[in-house]
Amino acid sequence: MIFTFLKKAILFQFLLLTLMQANAQWNKVYDVSLQMRGINFINKDTGYICGAYEGPKLMKTTTGAYTWEDITGSFTAQIFSVHFINKSIGFVYCDDTGNPGIYKTTDGGSTWMFNYFSPPYIWSFSFVSPTTGYAFPGVMEYAYCVKTTDGGDTWTQIASITTPGEGFGIWDSHFPNENRGYFVTDEGSVYRTLNAGINWTKVYHTSSYSLRGVYFTSPDSGYVTGAKNDCFGSDCGLLLTTIDGGTTWQSTYFPNECYDIIFTDSDTGYMSSSGIYKTTDKGVTWVMDTSNYYYSTVRLDFPTRNIGYAIGAYGSVLKHDPDIGVSTHNIKKSQGLMIFPIPATGPVNISFDIESASEVIIDLLSSQGIQQRQLYHGFMTIGHHTLQASMEGLPADIYYCRLITRETVTTKKIVVVR
């Protein structure tokens, strides 16, 4: 009787702890040999990453970053940026010998067509509507603005900007509306247009920082990030904020370089650095967001208000998921996934259905979404399968079993008692 009561009390404490810890956080979900350059998600499950590692690399996920397909195809040089305007139509900039420039796909990345010749690097695409978008070729002291008004079928150069110093061109751009836009340069300048990209005016410059990210929550309220050139001490990172459309700027300094920045609403934003910073008060204060893996992140993307992704320079993908780190991607909700006995005092049986032959990964996650161990990784044929998994060495707690196949990611709770 007393033992049963203690068991219930312990389970209640575990449930209470889980609820207290069920805050959105970052979890490493994938590793790949890749020097990361770009990331773009069109919804919470489907996204793309690009870069190079002993050759170009372009990869696609439809499972919320848990599994990836290589769609590099015939590209032969580094891919610097990727952007999709819907599930079918997307763009990359590739520095291919003979045909460097913008490439377009109309079938979700299966095939690519050369679209616009542009020798300098393009790190950023900015679309303000499905038909109107901008790209910014730039390297050394030269930068350009090219624009499409037909969904990327054609691109036209509409502006040329001469920057005063050498660098890798324009790192990032953002248009809060159809007429007003901003971009930041490697040599430390912020430029603004008020007439849809035709004319650009420099509204800020620093010689100490390379400016890397820009995001505006409204035409007047915006943020710019920077990394100090040759940083060997404090204040390696810079955050600029403006509330008057870039006329004046306020500076805040961080101990590590600041790279990308994105806001999911007018109050809540994320900034990539050594770890990921978060603000919930319009950028007045920033705290390091919780994560199970700390490394320097270079690019962020939030396809929804709550689900986001980050990439590091060398091969890791992180996911921000409010469901305590557990994937919300469910094409077929249960997939017949059953775990017994629950609660578990010893080994558990994992039972599930495979609807088509597939690579299968089964992970055991903590209640915070941190991987504890891999229970299975291999190829399975169609049909019903049952595996037995040891819970030996695990403290009493609540865990999650995550089943990943080619078609879906499914999770199920496991309660371990001792």
Q: Does position 326 have pLDDT exceeding 70, yes or no?
A: no
Last-in-domain residue among 321, 348, 378: 321
* DSSP code per residue over 5-18: HHHHHHHHHHHHHH
Last-in-domain residue among 321, 347, 373: 321
Q: Are strands 209-216 and 201-205 parallel, antiparallel or unpaired?
A: unpaired
**Residue 359, domain CATH:** 2.60.40.1930
Neighbours of 407 (CB within 10 A): 16
Q: Does position 119 have pLDDT exceeding 50, yes or no?
A: yes
SS (H, E, C) 273-336: EEEEEEECCCCCCCEECCECCCCEEEEEECCCCCCEEEEECEEEEEEEECCCCCCCCCCCCCCC
Extract the tokens encoding 230: 């040759």
Buried b (16+ CB within 10 A) or exposed e, 287-316: eebbbbeebbbbbbbbbeeebbbbbbbbbb
C-alpha to C-alpha distance for 89 and 209, rounded to whole angstroms: 35
Q: Residues 12, 117: one domain?
A: no
Under the banding of pLDDT at 50, 70 and 90, the label for residue 217 is: very high
Q: Residues 140, 215: one domain?
A: yes
Q: Residues 195, 101: one domain?
A: yes
Q: What is the pLDDT of residue 14?
A: 35
Q: Residues 237, 338: one domain?
A: no
Closest CA to 342 of 385, 401, 384, 409: 401
Q: Residues 114, 261: one domain?
A: yes
Q: What is the pLDDT of residue 16?
A: 33
1 Cβ partners below 8 Å, 6+ apart?
none
C-alpha to C-alpha distance for 273 and 417, rounded to whole angstroms: 39
Last-in-domain residue among 274, 291, 321: 321
Q: Residues 215, 285: one domain?
A: yes
The answer to which of 175-184, 315-324, 371-380 has the lowest mean pLDDT is: 315-324
Q: Per 3-state DSSP, what percentage of the chain is helix, strand, and coil (rounded to 5)?
A: 5, 50, 45
Q: Does position 288 have pLDDT exceeding 70, yes or no?
A: yes
Structural domain of residue 373, as residue ranges? Answer: 2-20+330-416
**Residue 93, domain CATH:** 2.130.10.10
For 38-49, what is each residue's pLDDT tens digit?
A: 999 999 999 999
Give pTM, 2 decimals. 0.75
Q: Residues 346, 304: one domain?
A: no
For 174-213, what is each residue's pLDDT tens digit?
A: 999 999 999 999 999 999 999 999 999 999 999 999 999 9
Q: Residues 222, 354: one domain?
A: no
Q: Residues 158, 107: one domain?
A: yes
Q: Residues 16, 28: one domain?
A: no
Q: Does position 243 have pLDDT exceeding 50, yes or no?
A: yes
For 23-74, what is each residue's pLDDT tens digit?
A: 447 888 888 877 888 999 999 999 999 988 778 999 999 988 888 999 998 8
Number of domains in the chain: 2
Give the highest mean pLDDT range of 93-102, 262-271, 288-297, 382-391.
262-271
Q: Does position 332 have pLDDT exceeding 70, yes or no?
A: no
Q: Residues 146, 182: one domain?
A: yes
Q: Does position 166 have pLDDT exceeding 90, yes or no?
A: no
Extract the tokens encoding 308: 């986001």
Q: Residues 181, 206: one domain?
A: yes
Give the highest mean pLDDT range of 136-140, 245-249, 360-364.
245-249
